[in-house]
Amino acid sequence: MIDLAFQDEFAVLTLNRPAVLNALGFAQLEILEGRLDEIEASDARCVVITGAGSKAFSAGADVSELAGRSVEQELDGTLHGQRIISRLETLRQPSVALVNGYALGGGCELCLACTFRLATPSAAFGLPEVRLGLVPGYGGTQRLSRLVGSAIALEAMLTGRMIGAEEALKVGLVSRILADDDPLEAAKAFARGFTSMSLTAMRFIRDAVRLGADRPLQDGLAIEAQASTLSYRSADGQEGLRAFLEKRAPRFQDR
């Protein structure tokens, strides 16, 4: 199960299979896609993703589903999983992964696609596929290296070791470590630093960062120039300029 609850300005997604450490099987990916459709169409201003229980955010794929597939099924399954998880990067709303416990394999790849990652002290991140003679398939090789650099990412992936919360904070994998008493409320408090901003402007910024990440600087600057120009032409951009000149708070409409 993947539960969806709307709380204030948040859409809270809970991976709810604690008996199997919130494993992301093929059926769960399909449910996730449907939940993201619901969120996209909602008035939510931020998505918070977490795992049920205290042991795991998600321990990754259901390994029992992976054996005995044809080459075509393996490739199609990988591309399908990549597409669903990548939706988080292009979703209208920013996303926050609240990692409580293990985030391994596909679970780690899910949180890597989020806009931000927050950790409880017990959080542990890892892409241990190499221990099965396999390669991460839902974006791990690409996103982890972009976040923490190729040396740290390669060491983690080639050894299959886990990265604890303190190390994750040190290398920039997470934005902060939250206290255990009420991490969901702490995650919401973190997100309220941006939920009053224009979703349109935030989308332009997120797209500029994502699209320019692996390109030469001049190409990235061209992407930024386009995004900046579009923001000036948006209704929210015009409202923001008027509000500044009129010395009042802007009333964004996400257009």
Active site residues: 109, 129
Under 8 Å between Cβ of 90 and 45: no
Distances (CA, A) of 10 to 45, 118, 198, 218: 6, 16, 15, 36
- Coil, helix or strand at residue 192: coil
- Sorted by sequence, the CB contacts under 8 Å of residue 253 that are 6+ apart come out as 235, 236, 239
How far is 155 from 28, CA to CA, in rounded Å? Answer: 29
- Coil, helix or strand at residue 164: strand
What is the token pair recorded at 78? 């990988």
Under 8 Å between Cβ of 220 and 231: no
Strand ranges inside 16-94, DSSP E: 46-51, 56-58
Strand ranges inside 23-135, DSSP E: 46-51, 56-58, 95-99, 102-104, 116-119, 124-126
Give Cα 149 distance to the centre of its chain: 18
- CA-nearest of 138, 139, 104, 99 to 116 is 99
